[in-house]
Amino acid sequence: MNEENRLIYQVRSTQSKFETREADGEMYISGYFAVFNSEYEMWPGAVESIADSAFEGALADDIRCLIDHETRLVLGGNKAGTLTLKTDSRGLWGEVRINPNDQDAVNLYERVKRGDVDQCSFGFDILDEEFVDRGDSVKWIIKKVKLYEVSVVTFPAYEETSVSARKRQLGERKQKSLAAWKQRTLKALKGEA
């Protein structure tokens, strides 16, 4: 997929509150980066949800945990053993071990601990999805993804490019549907249908 189709998917804090904990002298941040089968409104009349199959096979890839999707602010990685990711019946859960020598990571830990930052997101490419036209609204069901990163974020809102990409996809779908209808109607008028 090209860059325009890469989506940053945000999860609201009411469903994904992060927690901090200390164990054996280590600091951890944990919580759900994605919740299955919950609808998230992208704009009025358009929603998206994540199927419980979305991360199958994706967690074996090299995945990083970031701060606000900033690639220069890496909290941990699954290949390094500093990020644990797993799915359960609720969603994609993760825990990152904080590097005490990384001031950005320690600052974030303290912000999460105080409750100032408690939301999450993840960056991915869609490999398989289903589109549902409900008549007065539309829905995308994300069935399979290539996961690049998970992030602890300050604000849970779609990146503008994500919404623009979805609106463009919807416009293209409507144009194709209209073109097919015109072609069927033309054939019927010519007696070819």
Q: What is the pLDDT along the chain (193 residues), one digit of tens a residue?
A: 344 445 555 443 334 578 899 999 999 999 988 889 988 887 888 888 999 999 999 999 999 999 988 999 999 999 999 999 999 999 999 999 999 999 999 999 999 999 888 888 888 888 999 999 988 999 999 999 999 999 998 876 444 334 445 556 666 666 666 666 667 777 777 777 6
- What is residue 180's predicted lDDT score, i.e. its pLDDT? 66
Tracing tokens 């690049």 back to the chain, one arrives at: 148
- What is residue 144's predicted lDDT score, i.e. its pLDDT? 95
Report how far residue 173's alpha carbon sits from residue 151's, in angstroms, rounded to the nearest whole number.
31
- What is residue 39's predicted lDDT score, i.e. its pLDDT? 87
| C-alpha separations of 186 from 172, 173, 175, 176 in Å | 21, 20, 16, 15
Report the predicted TM-score, pTM, of the whole model to 2 decimal places: 0.75
Q: Which domain holds residue 29?
A: 3-190
Tracing tokens 């105080």 back to the chain, one arrives at: 114
Query: Total domain count for the chain?
Result: 1
Report how far residue 161's alpha carbon sits from residue 139's, in angstroms, rounded to the nearest whole number.
18
Other C-beta atoms within 10 Å of 158: how many?
A: 20
| C-alpha separations of 116 from 17, 68, 102, 154 in Å | 11, 14, 19, 8
Report how far residue 48's alpha carbon sits from residue 38's, in angstroms, rounded to the nearest whole number.
8
Token pair for residue 71?
Answer: 């690639």
Report how far residue 106's alpha carbon sits from residue 189's, in angstroms, rounded to the nearest whole number.
70
Cβ pair 68, 156 in contact under 8 A: no
- What is residue 164's predicted lDDT score, i.e. its pLDDT? 45
Q: Phi, psi at residue 130, to the nearest 5°?
A: -125, 140
Token pair for residue 114?
Answer: 């105080």
